Amino acid sequence: MSNLLEIRGLKVNFNLENQVVTAVRGVDLDIREDEVLVLAGESGSGKSVTALSVTRLLPKTAEIVSGSVNFHWVDLAKLDEKALVSIRGKEIAYIFQEPTSYLNPVYTIGSQLSEAIMLHHDKTRLEAFKEAVELLDLVKIKEPKRVIDDYPHQLSGGMNQRVFIAMALACRPRLLIADEPTTSLDVTVEAQILQLLMELKKSLGFSLLFITHNLSIARRIADRVSVMYKGKVVEEGDVEKIFGSPEHNHTKELIRAYEKIGKI
Amino acid sequence: MILKVENVVKEFKFERGFFKQEAGVVRALDDVSFEVEEFSSLGIVGESGSGKTTLAKIIMELIPATSGKVVFDAERITNFRKDAQIIFQNPYNSLDPKMRIINTLSEPLLIHGIVPKKHFRDKAVELLRMVGLDESLLQRYPIEFSGGQRQRICIARALATEPKFILLDEPISSLDLTIQAEMLDLFLELKAKLKLTYIFISHNLAVIRHIADSVIVMESGKIVERGLKDAIFNSPANTYTKLLLEAARG
Ligand SMILES: Nc1ncnc2c1ncn2[C@@H]1O[C@H](COP(=O)(O)OP(=O)(O)O)[C@@H](O)[C@H]1O
Ligand SMILES: Nc1ncnc2c1ncn2[C@@H]1O[C@H](COP(=O)(O)OP(=O)(O)O)[C@@H](O)[C@H]1O
Ligand SMILES: [Mg+2]
Ligand SMILES: [Mg+2]
């Protein structure tokens, strides 16, 4: 399988008032066509910063010091902001842990979804609304015609995450980056969302980069696993290899926690 | 028996819609009764919104019940505010950001007269050690700590009053899995060493399996299943319990 995304030597600093913090110190990461890569590691290890660097969604204090991000043979690190806008959302989409902080509380689900659709497609509002209903159906929301008129606060955490997924997939991206999207959900809801993502990946065909601190998710969905520790990828391999013969101490630690409380 | 919850009902009034056209009550707890044995650990599981935190707050007298009551054994829990402590889920907003750790730990020592003032520092060091932290942290502020460290400080503060009963409401749910595993060991160690009684609320059955002797499963404000841990895990009777077990198996 060929690589869809290749990150090489990525280094990211935060330039704070009186110090420079290096968050990512030379990360190499490959994501292949049509695979699920789970990026695992403890909090603060640099997973989110790595993910956000891909399309430069970083806060203003952050600086990509060096590295390349090849997506389809294009180095995203070299693209200007205008060119990146056409990649973000359209080719590479994100979902995050707290969907409600990305959904606008004062607009209905329908108007936000159709807005996202119109942003990238030449469609009338009516056409976009029709497609919004189809998207809600795609993410297995029952009664999409009713939910389309709801506001985010009227929906449960799991439902909002489904809406967020629908929005991310509106433009049929080739890469979906999911940064801990199930971390604050109930276990039963988490299981449903993981299942949904796998079904959507199968039917729509995209690569998935899934970020988590919990290896039980890798066990469920990963083809390959990369483990980050203190700003570096310290181990990567097929899911069987990672669980069967882990090498790095941090990988072993993650597996011990998984064996103990990541499953019953 | 150290604690008895009898037919507790809790209703919240709600209003919905721009003109508050919809109004009514939600029954967050619906006739909940159970007992907790001294030195035991009762696990409570259920998904969000099932009423766990509401129950925790009623037990700790932080909010009143609509009806029913909570009775502590007066021989064992003589001074409620001292003998019964609670630890919440979110270690990020349960510590005062403007207080140094030494002061956070000294406050309960002072309020409950645990040790004379000249021993505050020694006691604070002892508490930090108990939760696996170093005395060098005494003069620092909460913002300097990770989630796991903050939760350890919350535990140290709860232990300052030398409690007999601790209610833990999802105390590790917001932490990394590796840190959760460490914290779980700490809770087990402290329970044995200090002869504590726990109510441990969690939505993770794998955590409950390590810490609980008996388990209550809650759904929509009702207890839908209860029993000894092994019975619940090996032969669950309720559909919802089975669903939870299924999800946790992965
Ligand atoms: N906005 C920020 N300002 C300063 N430092 C930051 C900021 N965001 C992240 N960092 C630093 O970058 C490191 C990596 O953070 P992050 O990628 O969010 O970790 P993860 O997602 O693995 O939990 C952290 O240790 C933190 O020190
Ligand atoms: N202060 C409140 N006002 C109105 N409803 C509340 C309040 N607190 C809790 N509830 C409702 O009570 C139910 C139980 O909530 P909670 O006890 O927090 O559940 P859990 O801790 O199991 O997630 C929920 O439906 C919640 O919306
Ligand atoms: Mg992160
Ligand atoms: Mg709760």
Segment B140-187, tens digit of pLDDT: 999 989 888 999 999 999 999 999 999 999 999 989 999 999 999 999
* B21 has a pLDDT exceeding 70: no
Atom of ligand 2 nearest to the CA of B53: 21
- Is residue B198 a contact partner of residue B163, using CB atoms and an 8 Å limit? no
In this prediction, residue A1 carries a pLDDT of 67
Closest ligand (CA of B218): 2
Q: Tell me the longest C-alpha to C-alpha distance in chain A.
A: 55
Q: Are B55 and B30 in contact (CB under 8 A)?
A: no
**Does residue B48's CB lie within 6 angstroms of at least one atom of ligand 2?**
yes
Binned at pLDDT 50, 70 and 90, residue B50 comes out as very high
Res. B225: pLDDT tops 90: yes
pLDDT of residue B19: 67
**Apex CA B236: angle with CA B231 and CA B239, to 5°?**
165
Helix (H, G, I), strand (E, B), or coil: what is residue B97? coil
| Sheet with strand B222-228: strands edge to edge | B84-87, B165-169, B197-201, B41-45, B214-219, B222-228
The mean per-residue pLDDT over the stretch B59-81 comes to: 97
Beta-bridge partners for A209: A37, A177
Task: Classify residue A44 by burial, with Cβ atoms within 10 Å: 0-12, 13-18, 19+.
Answer: middle
Contacts 24+ apart (CB under 8 A), B11-20: B11/B66
User: Which of A66, A76, A61, A56 has its CA nearest to residue A4?
Assistant: A76
Distance (Å) of CA B192 to CA B148, B155, B167, B186, B220: 21, 15, 16, 10, 33
Question: Of A155, A156, A257, whose CA–CA distance to A216 is shortest?
Answer: A257
Tell me the best of A10, A13, A15, A21 to mutate to test the pocket of ligand 1, counting ligand atoms within 8 Å of each CB and taking the most: A21
- Phi, psi (5° rounding) for residue A122? -85, 85
Residue B227's DSSP bridge partners are: B215
Write the CATH number of the domain with boundaries B3-77+164-249: 3.40.50.300
User: What pLDDT score was predicted for residue B18?
Assistant: 64
- Measuring from atom 4 of ligand 2, which residue has the nearest CA? B12
Name the nearest CA neighbour of A165 among A145, A184, A179, A186: A179
Mean pLDDT score of chain B = 94
* pLDDT tens readout for residues A76-97: 999 999 999 989 989 999 999 9
Model pLDDT, residue A86: 87
Model ipTM? 0.90
User: How far apart are the C-alpha atoms of B37 and B35, rounded to whole Å?
Assistant: 7
Q: Residue B244: pLDDT above 70?
A: yes
The string over B81-116, giving b where at least 16 C-beta atoms fall within 10 Å of a residue's C-beta and e elsewhere, is ebbbbbbbbebeebbeeeeebbbbbbebbeebebbe
pLDDT for position B249 = 86
What residue spans define the domains of chain B?
Answer: 3-77+164-249, 94-157
- Ligand 2 atom nearest to B221, measured from its CA: 14
d(CA B71, CA B210): 27
Q: Is the pLDDT confidence value at B92 over 80? A: no
- Mean pLDDT value of segment A25-33: 98
Does B99 contact ligand 2 (Cβ within 6 A)? no
For residue A225, give both structure tokens. Answer: 């696993």
CA of A62 to the centre of ligand 1 (A): 10
Are A147 and A109 a contacting pair, CB within 8 Å? yes
Q: Which residue has the higher pLDDT, B89 or A237?
A: A237
pLDDT band at A120 (very low <50, low <70, confident <90, very high): confident
Residue A21: partners with Cβ closer than 8 Å, 6 or more residues away: A13, A14
Residue A249's pLDDT band, with cuts at 50, 70 and 90, is: very high
| DSSP line for A204-264 | H--EEEEEES-HHHHHHH-SEEEEEETTEEEEEEEHHHHHHS--SHHHHHHHHHHHHHS--
Please list, in sequence order, all residues whose beta carbon lies within 8 angstroms of the beta carbon of residue B145, skipping any fewer than 6 positions away. B137, B153
The number of C-beta contacts closer than 8 angstroms across A and B is: 74
Local confidence band at B24 (pLDDT 50, 70, 90 cut-offs)? confident
Which one-letter amino acid corresponds to residue A221?
I
User: What is the average pLDDT across B111-123?
Assistant: 97
How far is B213 from B38, CA to CA, in rounded Å? 12
From the CA of B225, how far away is ligand 4's center (Å)? Answer: 19
| Interacting residues of A127 by C-beta distance below 8 A, sequence separation 6+ | none
Provide the pLDDT confidence category of residue A222 given band limits of 50, 70 and 90: very high
Stretch 187-246 of chain A: residues touching chain B, C-beta under 8 Å: 187-191, 213-216, 219-220
- A185 CA: distance to closest CA in chain B (Å): 8
A16, with CB counted inside 10 A (0-12, 13-18, 19+), is exposed
Q: What is the mean pLDDT of residues A26-33?
A: 98
pLDDT exceeds 70 at position B20: no
Per mean pLDDT, which range of A44-48, A88-92, B195-199 is the poorest? A88-92
Residue B248 has a CB neighbour count (10 Å cut-off) of: 24
Structure tokens at A42: 């403890």
Element (H, E) at A92: strand A92-95
Name the β-bridge partners of A39: A211, A226
Task: Say yes or no: CB of residue B54 within 6 Å of ligand 2.
Answer: yes
SS3 assignment, position A72: coil
Q: Which atom of ligand 2 is nearest to the CA of B56?
A: 17
Burial class (CB in 10 A: 0-12, 13-18, 19+), B168: buried
The arithmetic mean of pLDDT across residues B86-95, rounded, is: 84
Question: Residue B154 in contact with residue B170, Cβ under 8 Å?
Answer: no
Say if B180 is an interface residue toward chain A (CB within 8 Å): yes
- Please indicate whether residue B45, judged by its CB atom, sits closer than 6 Å to ligand 2: no
Could you tell me whether strands B3-16 and B67-72 are parallel, antiparallel, or unpaired per DSSP bridges?
antiparallel
Show Cβ contacts of residue A209 under 8 Å, excluding neighbours closer than 6 positions.
Answer: A5, A31, A37, A39, A51, A175, A176, A177, A178
pLDDT category at B17 given cuts 50, 70, 90 is low
Q: Above pLDDT 90, what percent of chain A?
A: 90
pLDDT (0 to 100) of residue B91: 72
Please indicate whether, in this complex, the C-beta atoms of A213 and B146 are within 8 angstroms of each other.
Answer: no
3 state SS of A28: strand
